[in-house]
Structure formats: C-alpha cells, structure tokens
C-alpha cells in the first residue's frame, strides 16, 4: 500500500508538469487590447495587405457581430470576453523578417529546441537516411521561420506564411481563400476571417509530388493573446502533399482562445494528407487555464478521384470544438478521418467530422477513438450525408469510446442522412471501459497500472496512430501515455 | 405574441372554445410549437398539420370487453409538468385539450390474455388528444395490442403514461396506420421498477406525418426495456421515430431494434437515444437501426445518440443505410425466383426482424405479416413460393 501511495504521488507530480508549459521571454509587439474595426485595419496594415483583403476581413467582422455564439455542442463554455484579448502579438525581432534561419532570434531557436522542433536544416541533412521535413513556425501571431523553401521551390511547391503569399501570389490566395470555408460559415470561422494573423500557404502544382513532409508548429506564447491562424493548401491535378501540424502553449491560469481555419482544395486526382498532433495546454487538474480550441477545418475534394485524409491526435486544450470535414464533390473522390481524442481532468471535447457526398461513387471512412478519463467529457459528433447526385456513395464509420474512471462522460452524436437509394452507409459505435481482465493480465506480468493502461490504450488507438507519419506516430504514442497520467490509482 | 410557431393554429383552437386546461394552453401559447431549428425536430416540420383546418373531437375506442381496460376517468388523467421548460409542446397541446384516453389497470400478479383495442377520431378531419394511462401492479403480466388509425386528415395526438411495478411485464404492440394523409403523434414514457420489463413494437404505415416517441426510464436494477419498430413508408409519407432510454439506476438493460423501408419520395427518420446517468454502473444498452431505400427520391435519416456518464457500461449502436443486397438477390434469382418475388421476399424477411425481438401472440404476428405483404403489394402473397 505504501508503495502504491508513492506511485500515485509520483504520477500526480508528473501529471502536473505539462512539458511544454514554459514561457519564452521575448519582446513582443502587440496591437491594443480589444476587437473593433480599427484593430482589423491595424492588423491589415501591419501585414501590408491589399485593399480587397481588408474589405474581406471587415465584411467577416460585420457578419460576426450579428452572429449568435453556437451552443449546440455538448460543451460548457464560460462566456468569452472578446474585448479582453490581444488580437495581434508579434515577436519584435520579427519586424524585419529573417532572411535565413541564422537571423532568427536565438531565444526563439531556444524555444523550438525545447519543443524538439528541428529548425536547422543542417541537422536534418546531416542524418543520412533521415527524411527531411520542411517546417513553418508560427509564434503567437506571426510566422517566424520557414525552412527548406528553396528546395521546395525547385520542385515548384510553394510553402510560405500566408501573409507572404498574399504579397507574392495574390492571385492564388484571392482565388482560394474562403472558397472552402466562407467568412459566413460559422461564428469562429467568421471571427478568424476578420482577425487572422498568419498561417501557412501551400500550393502544389499539377503533377508534382511534394518531395518532403511539410510541417507547421504553432505556439501561443504571449499572455492574453488569441491565436487565429489560417492555413490554405491547394493541390492541383495529380499532386500530392503530406502536411503535419503541431501545437503547444505555455501554462497559464487564464484561458486563451485559439480559433483557426484550415482550408484544403484537392483538384483532379490530387491527394492531401493532413495530420495534427494537438497538444495545447489543457489546464491544470482543477480545470484552471488552458486553451479554448475552436477550429474549422474543411477540405473540398473538387476533382474526380481526389483524396483527402485527416488524421488527428487531440490530447490538449481545455475545450476542443473541431470537426475536420470533407466535401466530396468529384466523382470517386475519397475522404478519410482518423481521430484519437483523449480528455483527462476537466477537459471537454466535442469533435468529429462531416462527410458530405455529392459526387458519384464517392467514398469515405471514419475511425474515431475517444478516451475519457478523470472528470472530463467527450463527444463524437459526425455527419455522413449523401445528396441525390451522389449515386453509389459509400461510408464506413466506426467510433469507439473508452471510459477510465466513473466521473467522466463519453457521448456519441452521429447524423446519417441518405439522400438516394444507392448510398451505402454503415455506422458502428461502442462504449466500454478498460477490461479488468486485460489490466490483470498486464499487471501479472509485472507492469504497474499506469504502464498497463498506457499499453492497452495504445492498442485501442493503434488503427489511428498508424495513419500518422512516422515521426508523429512516435510522439503521439508518448503523448497518449502522458495524457492519461494520474487517471488511475 | 403572434410570432411563435403555430400561433394561428392555437388561436383557432381558442376561438373554438376547445381549451379545457387554461394553464397548459397559456404555457403552449407562450412557447409555440417546435420548428426545425429545435434539434429534436430538425427533420420534421409541423407546418403541414398546423395549417390544416381541424375540429377538436373525442377519441373513439373499440375494444373487447374487459373490466381492466376502458376509457379513463377524468381523475386519473396524468397532469403533465407544464411549468418545466423541457415539457414537449405536443404534450402541452394534449393537456390543454384532452379529457379522454384509456386506462389499463392490471392488479398484482394477474396474467392476462392479450387485449386488442382500436382508436380513431369521433369526427371527420378532427384533432384528437388522448391522455392514456397503463398501470401494472407487482408481478402482473399483460399484452396490449393498439391500433391507431385515420382515414382522412385527422390528427391523433396522444401521451401514454406507464407505471410498471417491480416484476411487472408489459408487452405492447402499436400499429399506427393511416388511410389518408392524416397526422399521428404519440409519446410514451414508462417508468420501470425492479425487474420490470417493457417490450414494445411500433409498426407505422401510411399517413401524412407520423412521429412516434418511445421513452423509458430505467429506475431500478434488473429492469429491461426492448423497443422495436418497423417503419414502412411510401408516396410522400413522413415518419419520425424517436427513442430515449434513460438508465437512471445501476444493473439494467435495454435493446432497440429499428427497421425502416422507404420507397418513392417518402422520408423516414430514426432518432435514437441511450442515456446512462452517473453511478448507473453495469448497464448494457444496445441499438441497431437498419434502413432499406427502394427509391432514389426516398430519404432516410438516422441519428443514434449515446450519452454516457458511467464507466462500467457496455453500450453500442449500429446503423446501416442502403439498398437490397445484390448478392442475396442473385442467390434467389439463380434458384429460379422471379425478380419481383425475390425482392419482396427479402424485404419481408427484413421487415420481420423486429418481430423476433418480442414474444408476439400468433394472431398478432399473422396480422402484421398480412400488413407487410399488403404494403409490398404482392398479390396472393408470394405466388410460387406461397409463404
């Protein structure tokens, strides 16, 4: 018993240490607190944006003012004071954008080293067999560094902060921005459209397979800042790109808002693989602090035989509100959604996907694994829909929930809407707890309860993790174990 | 005051002097009927029935003679909790106007033969509200077969309050059938005591708009609720079948089986719910919904929901939507069965699946079989196969 008590103590001590909870002391430049048309003009001016983009932002803002806050999710969201936040915060040294990686503020480099993000191209190139990953880093409101741009440019791939893309490729940005998620789409998307500060822009031209994984790391650092990034990925005919996204934030007592929009466009036979490991600060055991993660992610599979695959590992955030979706417009287009969501302590998550079948013989697949522990609550919410035109549409959905502890909740809210007779939709869902037999089996072989649980849960989520690119899969596996610390005993 | 949904409809009722319970009516008048922005009504629009000119009328009950079953005395009508914001608008409508319904009161340990009853409107194009009550005392067992039917535009709206004492077992078969484009909205909410059992099969056919809600409160250990439904819809018919099982205590079970066949431009909806309250451990709750779509203009919507606040539970739901299996059709065709017969045979087998969930009296099963065959429109049943 004594040993057990010690273990519990150790574990809870561990659980308190969110690995990414440090703050980097960097001079920042912020816009005044609050949200109004002047702030939006300020952001737009800072980014030296063309008139049309400012107009678009203002239109979104005016629309947002008239929208009610959505309350349909099974989430308890305390009222958010949108005037009590900074909508623009930039590291001062980023005023003059770094030309090479060596110009980046050393404190920032330090931060990213702590995060384990390989910014230095040399390091990556030195490992002979190692696959290279191009990284775009967004710190608070601005993108601070993008690596491997030259190498990507050779292949014809554009990978740059969206604020730069607005300057250098205005015709592309203007054509696709808001084409998947219009500024009127929903409350948080409208807010994002008004105040988005940076994010990544990827363009893969016809017939090009992007030669490396692209990756963005988002970090909220400054106090009281909201982060509103906007990612736009366009892949032309027969192109391919794999994109990874990671996020962390320092530990703070107050809640911070993160409302991102991600738009993907896949043209004929194009393929986009989008992976996320979301590890925003989840708040402490009493539910103090943590990020509000209200994200709109949507892909338009516009071309015939195009394919988009969303993979997400969601372990962080105090509140998650996120539904990466696919509009399957092209004939035989394909959408996939693989998700692992873990909530512990007082975290809340309402997440899932939408698969809207419009094209003939379009197919989709949804695998969702939810794990609730502590006093957390989690909901899978998904829509599978076929219109009359989507002859032969096919969907398979599996959503399983695992409950750890008797104070948590796991909920499933699927919507299945068939609009023609040739649609074939299958949905299955189960909810159960970790079996005593499995735990006993592991314990008998000398594992402690935490290890046993981590092993069983990793088995439960295996189907999803194996969809992640290698580097992320390893990180995600560790995350799964860390997120559940303190949930047994 | 006129901006609530259905205000004109309510004004007409008020004008006709039909209101019997002023408090319930005032509550309804203030809230109005749910429109499609209300989540539970996202697939069903009441605008059609609310636009019809209907006259309030009484409920006609045809039944075999039984001392235990009969019209409800006014004192026994259950008063809905009209001050609660969650109270359904249609229950409020019912409370505002109902003075009728049936009472089925079964004493301790009684074992009854099945009771058959038919319900219809007393007048043409009527609005009928019925508040029914079923009480089974400890250890009682009973089977009730209800047939609710319209032949015109009438609207039958009912609430059935059920109390099952420990060890009681009620089997209920509800056939909701319309000859015309009538409306039927029925809600049932049984409360189950220890080791009580509620088995219910709903079959809905025809009609303009049918919305049948089957709820169950599992209040004690050992209780079981089995909710089954067969929905057959064609033409421009609309059916919304809703379930909500609340496991409010530990150690009990529920099972839901829904089969839907939609043809032509019909719409069929299944909204299922299993709710497990905190501390309701060792619960098993299953749900399976399958929809067969026979036409490209038909629509089938399914929303099977789980809401679980306890960890030692096994809950599952499955849902499929699709056409008949090509393989099964090919198998039958290869054995010389005509296309039409093969299809009918497969649909019949599919439609019979929910029957298996209950221990149906033979006569009832035969009657339901006839209904399904007639719906399939295969003259002389299955000709060469003579089933």
Beta strand B253-262 pairing with B224-233:
parallel
The pLDDT of residue B358 is: 87
Q: Given this model, what pLDDT does residue A13 score?
A: 41
Helix (H, G, I), strand (E, B) or coil at B258: strand
Contact A421 B294 (CB under 8 A): yes
* C-alpha dihedral (A54, A56, A58, A59), degrees to nearest 10: 160
Q: For position B47, what pLDDT does the model report?
A: 95
Number of cross-chain residue pairs from A and B with Cβ atoms under 8 Å apart: 119
The more confident residue out of A96 and B253 is B253
Q: Which of A431, A439, A487 to probe by mutation at the B interface, max B CB count within 10 Å? A: A431
From the list B281, B312, B321, which residue is nearest A423 (CB)?
A: B321
Contact between chains at A401 and B308 (C-beta distance less than 8 A): yes
Q: Which residue has the higher pLDDT, B378 or B300?
A: B300
- pLDDT value of position B20: 87
Q: Which has the minimum average pLDDT: A258-262, A348-352, B94-98?
A: B94-98
Nearest-neighbour CA in chain A from B300: distance (Å): 5
Q: What's the average model confidence in pLDDT over A429-456?
A: 88
Residue A131: the pLDDT is: 47
Q: Identify the pLDDT of residue A317.
A: 86
Of the pLDDT bands very low, low, confident and very high (cuts 50, 70, 90), residue B86 is low
A86: Cβ–Cβ under 8 A, 6 or more apart, which residues?
A30, A31, A32, A33, A222, A224, A225, A226
Higher pLDDT pick, A224 / B44? B44
Contact A361, A389 (CB under 8 A): no
Mutation for A interface: B311, B316, B347, most A CBs within 10 A: B311
With beta carbons less than 8 A apart as the criterion, state whether A372 and A345 touch.
Answer: no
Sorting pLDDT into bands at 50, 70 and 90, what band is A461?
A: confident
pLDDT (tens digit per residue) in A59-109: 999 999 999 988 888 888 888 888 888 888 776 554 444 445 555 566 656
| pLDDT exceeds 60 at position B200 | yes
Say what the pLDDT of residue A287 is.
81
Interface of chain B against chain A, CB under 8 Å?
39, 278-279, 281, 291, 293-323
Residue of A nearest to B298 (CA): A420
Distances (CA, A) of B263 to A256, A420, B166, B268: 51, 11, 42, 10
- Using CA of residue B29, residue B33, residue B38, residue B40, what is the dihedral sign? positive
Instruction: With beta carbons under 8 A apart, name residues in chain B contacting A404.
Output: 311
**pLDDT confidence of residue A469:** 77
A360–chain B nearest CA distance, Å? 13
Measure the CA–CA gap between B279 and B266, rounded to whole angstroms.
Answer: 42
Chain segment A336-378, per-residue pLDDT in tens: 999 999 998 899 999 999 999 999 999 999 999 999 988 999 9
Residue B263 to chain A, least CA–CA distance (Å): 9
Instruction: Tabulate helix, strand, coil % of chain A (nearest 5).
Output: 25, 35, 40
Alpha helices in B244-325 (DSSP H): none
Q: pLDDT tens for residues A272-290?
A: 999 988 888 888 888 888 8
Above 80 in pLDDT, residue B134?
A: yes
Contact residues, chain A, for B294 at CB < 8 Å: 421
- Domain assignments of chain A as residue spans, ordered by start: 17-322
Q: Are A4 and A273 in contact (CB under 8 A)?
A: no
How far is residue A399's CA from residue A397's CA, in Å, rounded to a whole number?
7
Distance from CA of A480 to the nearest CA of B (A): 19
Q: Is the confidence at residue B191, as pLDDT, over 50?
A: yes
Q: Which residue among A409, A417, A425 sits closest to B320, beta carbon to beta carbon?
A: A425
Is residue A5 predicted with pLDDT exceeding 60? no
Nearest CA in chain A to B292: A421
* H/E element, A472: helix A470-483
Among residues A400, A355, A354, which one has the least CA distance to residue A378?
Answer: A400
Subunit contact B310:A403, Cβ cutoff 8 A: yes
* pLDDT top residue among A33 and A242: A242
What are B220-251's pLDDT values in tens digits? 999 999 999 999 999 999 999 999 999 999 99
Task: Output the CA angle A398-A402-A407, nearest 5 degrees.
Answer: 140
Q: Inter-chain contact A403–B313, Cβ cutoff 8 Å?
A: yes
Highest mean pLDDT out of A18-32, B158-172, B331-345: B158-172
- Residues B322, A424: C-beta atoms closer than 8 Å: yes
**Contact flag B311-A422 (C-beta cutoff 8 Å):** no
What pLDDT score was predicted for residue A279?
A: 82
CA distance A465 to A238: 26
Q: What is the pLDDT of residues B260-314, one digit of tens each?
A: 999 999 999 999 999 999 999 999 999 999 999 999 899 999 999 999 999 899 9
Per-residue pLDDT at A117: 53
Q: Which pair of tokens denotes residue A307?
A: 């394919």
Q: What is the least distance, in Å, from the CA of B319 to any CA of chain A?
A: 5
Q: How much of chain A, in percent, has pLDDT values that exceed 90?
A: 45
CB contact under 8 A, B311 and A408: yes
Whether residue A404 and residue B311 make contact (CB cut-off 8 A), yes or no, is: yes
Reported confidence tier of residue A197, pLDDT bands at 50, 70, 90:
confident
- Locate A365 and state its tokens: 């697949």
Domain-wise residue ranges, chain B: 53-323, 326-387
Dihedral pair phi/psi, residue A194, rounded to 5°:
-75, -40
Option in B294, B308, B322 nearest A425 (CB)? B322
Question: Average model confidence (pLDDT) for chain B?
Answer: 90
Nearest CA in chain B to A398: B318
* Structure tokens given for A52: 């049309």
Give start and end residues of each alpha helix (H) in chain B.
7-15, 22-31, 47-51, 89-97, 326-334, 339-352, 362-376
DSSP conformation class of B109: T
The predicted complex's ipTM stands at 0.86
Q: Which residues of B touch A428 (CB under 8 A)?
A: 316-319
Residue of B126 and B387 predicted with greater confidence: B126
Q: B106, B105, B61, B80: which is closest to B189 by C-alpha? A: B80
Residue tagged 């009832």 (tokens): B364
């Amino acid at each position: 018993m004594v040993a057990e008590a010690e273990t519990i103590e150790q574990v809870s001590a561990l659980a308190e240490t969110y690995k990414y909870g440090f703050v980097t002391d960097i001079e920042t430049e912020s816009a005044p607190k609050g949200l109004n048309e002047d702030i939006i003009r300020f952001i737009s001016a800072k980014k030296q944006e063309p008139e049309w983009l400012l107009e678009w932002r203002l239109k979104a803002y005016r629309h947002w003012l008239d929208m009610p806050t959505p309350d349909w999710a099974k989430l308890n969201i305390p009222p958010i004071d949108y005037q009590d936040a900074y909508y623009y915060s930039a590291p001062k040294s980023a005023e003059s954008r770094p030309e090479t990686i060596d110009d980046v503020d050393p404190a920032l480099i330090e931060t990213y080293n702590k995060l384990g993000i390989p910014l230095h191209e040399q390091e990556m190139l030195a490992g002979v067999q190692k696959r290279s990953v191009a990284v775009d880093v967004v710190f608070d409101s601005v993108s601070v560094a993008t690596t491997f741009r030259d190498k990507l440019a050779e292949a014809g791939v554009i990978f740059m902060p969206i604020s730069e893309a607005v300057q250098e490729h205005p015709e592309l940005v203007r054509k696709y921005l808001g084409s998947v998620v219009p500024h009127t789409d929903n409350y948080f998307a409208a807010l994002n459209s008004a105040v988005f500060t940076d994010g990544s822009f990827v363009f893969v031209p016809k017939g090009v397979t992007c030669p490396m994984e692209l990756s963005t790391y988002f970090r909220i650092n400054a106090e009281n800042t909201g982060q509103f990034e906007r990612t736009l990925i366009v892949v032309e005919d027969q192109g391919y790109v794999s994109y990874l996204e990671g996020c962390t934030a320092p530990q703070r007592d107050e809640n911070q808002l993160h409302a991102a929009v991600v738009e993907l466009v896949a043209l004929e036979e194009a393929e986009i693989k989008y992976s996320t490991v979301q590890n925003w600060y989840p708040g402490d055991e009493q539910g103090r602090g943590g990020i509000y993660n209200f994200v709109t992610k949507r892909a338009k599979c516009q071309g015939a035989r195009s394919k988009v695959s969303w993979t997400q590992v969601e372990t962080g955030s105090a509140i998650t509100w996120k539904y990466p979706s696919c509009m399957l417009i092209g004939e035989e287009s394909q959408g996939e959604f693989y998700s692992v969501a873990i909530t512990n302590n007082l975290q809340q998550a309402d997440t899932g996907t939408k698969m809207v079948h419009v094209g003939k013989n379009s197919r989709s697949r949804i695998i969702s694994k939810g794990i609730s522990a502590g006093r957390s609550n989690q909901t899978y919410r998904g829509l599978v829909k076929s219109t009359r035109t989507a002859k032969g549409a096919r969907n398979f959905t599996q959503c399983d929930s695992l409950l750890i502890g008797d104070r948590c909740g796991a909920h499933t809210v699927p919507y299945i809407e068939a609009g023609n007779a040739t649609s074939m939709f299958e949905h299955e869902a189960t909810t159960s707890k970790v079996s005593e037999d499995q735990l006993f089996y592991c314990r008998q072989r000398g594992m402690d309860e935490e290890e046993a649980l981590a092993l069983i849960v990793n088995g439960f989520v295996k189907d999803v993790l194996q969809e992640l690119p290698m580097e992320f899969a390893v990180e995600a596996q560790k995350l799964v174990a860390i997120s559940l610390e303190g949930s047994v005993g | 005051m006129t901006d609530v949904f259905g205000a004109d409809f309510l004004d007409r009722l008020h004008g006709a002097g039909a209101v019997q319970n002023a408090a319930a009516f005032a509550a309804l008048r203030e809230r109005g009927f749910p429109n499609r922005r209300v989540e539970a009504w996202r697939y069903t629009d009441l605008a059609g029935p609310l636009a019809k000119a209907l006259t309030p009328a009484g409920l006609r009950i045809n039944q075999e003679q039984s001392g235990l079953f009969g019209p409800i005395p006014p004192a026994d009508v259950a008063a809905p909790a009209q001050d609660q914001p969650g109270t359904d608008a249609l229950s409020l409508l019912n409370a505002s106007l109902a003075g009728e319904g049936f009472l089925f009161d079964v004493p301790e340990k009684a074992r009854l033969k099945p009771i058959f009853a038919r319900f219809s409107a007393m007048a043409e194009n009527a609005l009928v509200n019925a508040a029914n009550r079923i009480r089974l005392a400890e250890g009682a067992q009973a089977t009730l077969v209800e047939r609710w039917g319209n032949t015109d535009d009438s609207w039958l709206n009912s609430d059935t309050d059920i109390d099952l004492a420990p060890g009681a077992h009620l089997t209920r078969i509800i056939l909701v059938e319309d000859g015309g484009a009538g409306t039927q909205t029925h809600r049932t909410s049984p409360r189950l005591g220890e080791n009580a059992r509620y088995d219910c099969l709903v079959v809905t056919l025809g009609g303009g708009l049918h919305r049948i809600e089957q709820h169950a409160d599992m209040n004690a250990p050992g209780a079981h609720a089995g909710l089954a439904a067969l929905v057959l819809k064609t033409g421009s018919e609309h059916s919304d079948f809703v379930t909500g099982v609340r496991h409010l205590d530990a150690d009990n079970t529920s099972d839901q089986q829904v089969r839907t066949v939609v043809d032509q431009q019909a719409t069929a909806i299944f909204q299922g719910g299993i709710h497990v309250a905190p501390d309701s451990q060792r619960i098993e709750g299953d749900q399976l919904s399958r929809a067969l779509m026979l036409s490209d203009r038909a629509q089938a919507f399914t929303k099977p929901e789980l809401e679980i606040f306890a960890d030692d539970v096994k809950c599952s739901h499955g849902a499929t939507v699709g056409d008949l299996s090509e393989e099964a059709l090919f198998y039958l065709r290869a054995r010389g069965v005509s296309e039409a017969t093969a299809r009918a045979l497969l649909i019949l087998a599919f439609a019979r699946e929910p029957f298996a969930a209950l221990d149906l009296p033979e006569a009832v099963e035969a009657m339901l079989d006839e209904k399904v065959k007639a719906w399939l429109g295969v003259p002389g049943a299955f000709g060469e196969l003579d089933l």
